[in-house]
Structure 1
């Protein structure tokens, strides 16, 4: 009996000790600390959703957007799928709408899901600016980017001016379901249709990767060995085309016109492996996209189209770019 009494007393003391330490721990854990210094306050929170997160072209768009965001006190998120995928890209858009951002910059995508999401954003007061590719009949408020149809016309006109004799053309395009690629092909076709000596033979898809461009070029030459001219419509196509053409060691001179001036494209243009390239200004696209969103947030909806410059450059134009600074960052800040 005495043993039981001491045992219960021991349990009671053990319980009280545990309770004491729990109270001490809780006090230290939850008691108010010195006030935390509030984080930097931004005027707006924008999201830039890329076609492919680590694509060099989209990283340049991001650079322009970040520079503008820093200038205008905007918090900018950069998001996107690891590989180009319309549905994955749109899922990121849905998440940012749910997250109640103030504005979204995204490539226009001709898909029912995109229309649903632009409507959803509109209902929640979230402004949408399309960049690089437009979907004009959606609830997007503005578009910033190249006139892709005219860029295609410029590519076709360059091929006419730069070549003589019959040209049998193979096109390597990033994605057949991308509006910007479609417009670049349409503009090219319209430019060459009255030039009987230039004939479009076939089109293959690169899926906007260098390996895809290599495979697409290889497939075109295996199926159509008489091809003697190429047009690449996305940033990595030109370098992929040039590599395969050099490997094939073709007897005939092969004309190549690419798109954009990534470092490897510029190098190939310098050494003569690529004849010409259509230059865009992705840095400007990113910078002006942030500015377009800011205009919308302040009630200025007067300008819905912000076309950035495109032009064709050749080897003898490169020195001019070196002297005037990088082709990507021409914004006057």
Structure 2
């Protein structure tokens, strides 16, 4: 009888061990394009908050300090070697990222992209903005602001970033057939360098003194509020009269305050915090063998002087 009891206890212990193994802990890494870009700070915050809620997930936030596609690819290689359970990547260069994404998948790591996609890779899903619609929204807001048209220039980030190319196409599509024409040399490419983006805004106006609009398709120049104010202040009258329209991507708190203070006319914003949250949930679902949508859009916000107070709250 005693041996039967011991056998039963051993069987129960085996079940308990088996049950705990089923509730595994996972390490999921979020790899931004650049860690010096405050946009991705919000993705990091969403990732960390959702990981804490889930309980059995650790969020690792690791990427290049600056926008460097080769460094991003090497960091992904290192994370593969470390044996992380999942990767969420904002793709800097589609070709370079596709190679390492496929390598990660072949190593048994679940991979999704966020913010910027590599659709030809073996990634399981994309979480983030519909970038073509994002660009179209920027163009539409410019048309609302100045239907009479004029000349405009765009400021972009990395030349090889697929999400930014889609935004450029979206702006052009929205303005096609209107009285707006794009200046030579547009878009400029800042490589997500905040100071360079401010300088490029100044350069666009210097090269085109009568330019009617500047459209940064990412928030980079406004992430340096003092630099942006230094650019706008000498021409504040032109901005206030809308002779120069400023329609800018993203709605980070610093941008919302600049809009409220009259340093921009319209912001079209993404939802980077939600990207971090949804990425964690999506990776966990994939790790559990569940089906997920291949494309998961997190939405857009349009902010003007009329509703900026709501967003600042």
Contact kept? 1:276, 1:313, Cα under 8 Å: yes
Q: Point out the structure with max Rg over C-alpha.
A: 1
User: Which of 97, 106, 113 is residue 80 of structure 2 equivalent to?
Assistant: 97
Contact kept? 1:142, 1:305, Cα under 8 Å: yes
Contact kept? 1:109, 1:135, Cα under 8 Å: no
Structure 2 matches for 1:288-303, cutoff 5 A? 288-303=278-293
Aligned residue in 2 for 1:206: 190
Contact kept? 2:94, 2:162, Cα under 8 Å: no
Contact kept? 2:67, 2:158, Cα under 8 Å: no
RMSD over equivalenced CA pairs, Å: 1.9
Corresponding residue SS for 1:316? coil
**Partner Cα separation in structure 2 for residue 144 and residue 96 of structure 1:** 20
Moved more, 232-241 or 284-293: 232-241
Aligned residue in 1 for 2:143: 160
**Partner Cα separation in structure 1 for residue 70 and residue 268 of structure 2:** 28
Say whether residues 1:282 and 2:272 are aligned partners: yes
Contact kept? 1:105, 1:128, Cα under 8 Å: yes
Cα distance change of structure 1 residues 205 and 109 upon mapping to structure 2, 3 Å threshold = closer
**Partner Cα separation in structure 2 for residue 165 and residue 288 of structure 1:** 41
Cα distance change of structure 1 residues 112 and 154 upon mapping to structure 2, 3 Å threshold = closer
- Give aligned pairs, total: 282
Contact kept? 1:237, 1:258, Cα under 8 Å: no
With normalisation by structure 2, the TM-score equals: 0.85
Corresponding residue SS for 1:171? strand
Q: Deviations over 1:219-274 (max 9, x none)?
A: 11121111121101112234566642333456572100111122221111101220
In structure 1, list runs of 5 or more residues that go unmatched. Answer: 1-40, 326-333
Corresponding residue SS for 1:207? coil
Aligned residue in 1 for 2:207: 223
Aligned residue in 2 for 1:232: 216
Say whether residues 1:115 and 2:102 are aligned partners: no
- The structural deviation recorded for 1:135 is 1.1
With normalisation by structure 1, the TM-score equals: 0.80
Q: Deviations over 1:290-311 (max 9, x none)?
A: 1110110111234111101113
